[in-house]
Chains A and B, each alone.
Chain A
Amino acid sequence: MNTLELDVEDRAIINRLQDGLPLAPYPYVLVAAELGLSEEELLERLARLRDSGVLTRFGPMYHAERLGGGLTLAALAVPEADYERVAGILDAFPEVAHNYRREHRLNMWFVLATESAERIPEVVAELETATGLRVFNMPKEREFHVRLHLPV
């Protein structure tokens, strides 16, 4: 399924549910009524959007730090010749949740997620030992906005 295969109801559902499902009894019937759909049709379409990968997930967005976990964004300047080797080292760390190549001298950007906040500096030190590179740790100091909303 690509974007062209989303009909007007699919688009309305995606747009509406990026804003959040109400935490109320029988929440889907409330949203279905807003969109002029039956509850059954909303649930069927939502299942199809999720199962076909148009939605990567549908559910509660948990706030990692509020749950006691540690979370940080960090980067490495990896020499090109070493890139695959270093990517493999990071891949083996369960605390590395996402890792992306980006176009900059700092060319490897990753999120560390740990079960406790105290574990972050330990993992940073372990990564520096394992890679022989300096980790640029960039934990958030202020959060201004976290809300992905992509109109379709």
Chain B
Amino acid sequence: MSDFTYPSDRGEDQRLDEQDRAIVLATQAGLPLVSDPWTAIGEQVGMNGEEVLSRMQAMLERGMIRRIAAVPNHYRLGYVANGMTVWDVADADIERLGREIAAIEGVSHCYQRPRHLPDWPYNLFAMLHGRSREEVEQQARVLRDCLGEACRDYRILYSSRILKKTGLRLAGAEPEAANNSLNNKNSWTDSNETDARG
């Protein structure tokens, strides 16, 4: 497990019990589009709808579920320019500045990551989404101004080709379930750090 230091990430080791895992497996491809989705899931996993809902609420409170959400296809919505911006920011200021730029419109993911000197001096990553490269560059200038003197250098790395995109796997899943989710092109986590097209 990475050594998280951001407060919301400081959680005790939280393993799923069998029922929670069954719910994750039943929902990792998506939530049923019926009036009472909790009962529909319950029918697959042998629980009533009330129990499914209360277990999912508990997983949400513990941060195992971030939210139940629609994930748009960037490209289909016209967001054809997706840039991974990387910044060399003074270590002393990174926590404050990371929070500031994470709040800027257009930033979808924002992380501190290790430098690899001398090859890679950048320690702050922010994914930007725009309808054109000009729009992404405009957003990057806003970030640049926000970071000010603490930022020594930055780059925008556009993705030029998707080489592979498959779903992530449930930890500890049975081989069959793991294979099913691997074959599912839809990621079930939010952590598409490199998810960018165009």
- Tell me the A residues contacting B by CB distance below 8 Å: 1-3, 13-14, 17-21, 23-29, 39, 43, 46-47, 49-50, 53-73, 75, 77, 87, 90-91, 94, 96-106, 108-111, 113-117, 136-150, 152
Contacts and interface: CB of A to CB of B under 8 A. Distances in A.
Given A61-B67, A150-B129, 17 more contacts: A53-B73, A53-B76, A59-B68, A60-B188, A61-B68, A61-B188, A62-B28, A62-B66, A66-B64, A100-B162, A103-B158, A115-B170, A140-B4, A140-B111, A143-B6, A145-B108, A148-B108
Contact of B77 (A14, A114, A144): A14
A4 B113 CA distance: 38
Contacts of A101: 159-161, 163
A97 B167 contact: yes
Nearest to A140: B111
Interface in B108-144: 108-114, 116, 119-120, 125, 129
B1 interface: yes
Contacts, number: 323
Interface string B77-89: 1110000100000
Bin chain B's interface residue count.
35 or more
A21 B159 contact: no
29 contacts: A1-B76, A3-B76, A3-B78, A19-B69, A25-B53, A47-B33, A53-B73, A53-B76, A56-B185, A58-B33, A60-B188, A62-B64, A62-B66, A68-B15, A73-B194, A97-B164, A98-B164, A98-B166, A99-B163, A113-B191, A114-B171, A136-B116, A140-B4, A142-B5, A143-B6, A145-B107, A146-B66, A147-B108, A148-B190
B27 interface: yes
Given A3-B78, A91-B163, A67 B35 contact: no
A92 B90 CA distance: 38
Question: Chain A interface secondary structure, helix, strand, loop or mixed?
Answer: mixed
Contacts of B162: 98-100
A115 B114 contact: no
A98 B4 CA distance: 23
Contacts of A59: 27-31, 68-69, 188
A94 B164 CA distance: 11
Nearest to B162: A100
B36 interface: yes
B77 A65 contact: no
A13 to B, nearest CB: 8
B19 interface: no
A62 B69 contact: no
A55 B33 CA distance: 13
A144 B112 contact: yes
A46 B33 CA distance: 8
Nearest to A4: B78
